[in-house]
Structure 1
Amino acid sequence: MPSIFNKDKLEMKLVEPELEEFTWKKSSKLNAIVQSDDYVFDVKTIGPGKFSYPYHYHYNSEEIFVVLKGKITLRTPEGFQDITEGEFAFFEKGPSGAHQLYNNTDDICTYLDIRSKKELDVCEYPDSEKINIMNARSMIFTKGQEVDYFYKEDDVLNKWIKLGFEFNKK
């Protein structure tokens, strides 16, 4: 059965992060209406002089923004461009899909955000050098802590011995 919704009849919830310039509203019940196994749906509004999420890209999810009302400025690796009512932007996985929105107008912009739903996604934030591991919760780390795969694994035999494991003697 199709799920039909009207952007003007959705209940919008104010999202107020710690930084005032990242304030927006999003639909609080749209995902209850559109019960998808593969996608997350949100209608969002960004007021004048406000940003969407920090500049980022996903390693495991694709995203589409459809501007429903108004105009918004999009930042990508290629630079800045305006997206207006009826236009949409697709963001592929990886660095080439990096994006951020800013409302450079005097009017509210409303857009539909469709993201592929994954049990695990990783976002990278190039401006702040953060990594966000997103599953049931978000865990955010600074990229500066990146280490080699075998970091601190060189004494594995003694770790096993300290845990009480007895190796076969040959």
Structure 2
Amino acid sequence: MAQIFTEENMSFELRQSPIPEFSWHTSQKLSEIVKSKHLQFDVRSLDPGKYSYPYHFHRNSEEIFVILSGKATLRTPNKFVELNKGDIVFFEIGPEGAHQLYNHTEAPCMFIDIGTNVGLDVCEYPDSGKINILPYQEIYQSNQNVDYYKGEDKVSEKWTLGDRT
């Protein structure tokens, strides 16, 4: 069955980070309401002078923004672009798909944020060197890369059977 979302039947809540510049209004989880298996989508509104999420890219999720009203500046790895009502932007998997929005105007910018959901995803934040294991929200500094076998040198000690027979 088709489900239609309108301004009249959607509610929005303010998402405010501890850093005042990161703030947006988001609809209730529309993809959860329709029980979507492979898409995550919400309507978001970015107030003037505010940034969307920190600059990031995904390792296992494609993303699309559709600008419904207003304008915003899009940051990508290669340039800054002004987005306008009706624009559709696709973000590919990997560093080439890194993105962030900033509302440089005096009016809100409303957009649909659509992403694929195929299980675990790793979101990376190039500005701060963090990684985020989604959907668990486990966030780590990425500068702690270690060798695959680090700490595995005493494997035989872990195989002592003792009382187990």
> In which range does the TM-score fall when normalised by the shorter chain?
over 0.9
Map 1:15-164 to 2 at 5 A: 15-135=15-135, 137-161=136-160, 164=162
Pairwise CA distance, 1:9: 4.0
Pairwise CA distance, 1:32: 4.2
Could you state the TM-score of these two structures normalised by the residue count of structure 2? 0.93
Pairwise CA distance, 1:4: 1.4
Pairwise CA distance, 1:146: 1.1
Give distance in 2, aligned partners of 1:19 and 1:46.
15
Unaligned runs of 5+ in 1: none
RMSD: 1.6
Give distance in 2, aligned partners of 1:75 and 1:126.
12
| Residue type at the aligned position of 1:151 | K
Could you state the TM-score of these two structures normalised by the residue count of structure 1? 0.90
What is the identity percentage for the equivalent residue pairs of Structure 1 and Structure 2?
51
Q: Is the 8 A contact 2:31 2:39 kept in 1?
A: no
Per-residue CA distance 1:51-107 (angstroms, 9 max, x = gap): 000000000000000000000110001110011000010001000000000000010
| Residue type at the aligned position of 2:140 | F
Count of matched residue positions in the alignment of Structure 1 and Structure 2: 164
> Structure 1 pair 11/129, CA: closer, same or farther in 2 (3 Å)?
same
Stretches (4+) displaced over 6 A? none
Give distance in 2, aligned partners of 1:8 and 1:73.
28
Give distance in 2, aligned partners of 1:109 and 1:122.
27
Pairwise CA distance, 1:31: 2.6
Give distance in 2, aligned partners of 1:116 and 1:31.
11
Helix, strand or coil at the partner of 1:20: coil
Unaligned runs of 5+ in 2: none
> Structure 1 pair 70/9, CA: closer, same or farther in 2 (3 Å)?
farther
> Structure 1 pair 145/3, CA: closer, same or farther in 2 (3 Å)?
same
Give distance in 1, aligned partners of 2:67 and 2:127.
25
> Structure 1 pair 117/7, CA: closer, same or farther in 2 (3 Å)?
farther
Give distance in 2, aligned partners of 1:32 and 1:156.
44
> Structure 1 pair 128/105, CA: closer, same or farther in 2 (3 Å)?
same
Per-residue CA distance 1:86-139 (angstroms, 9 max, x = gap): 00100010000000000000100000000101321100100000010113x210
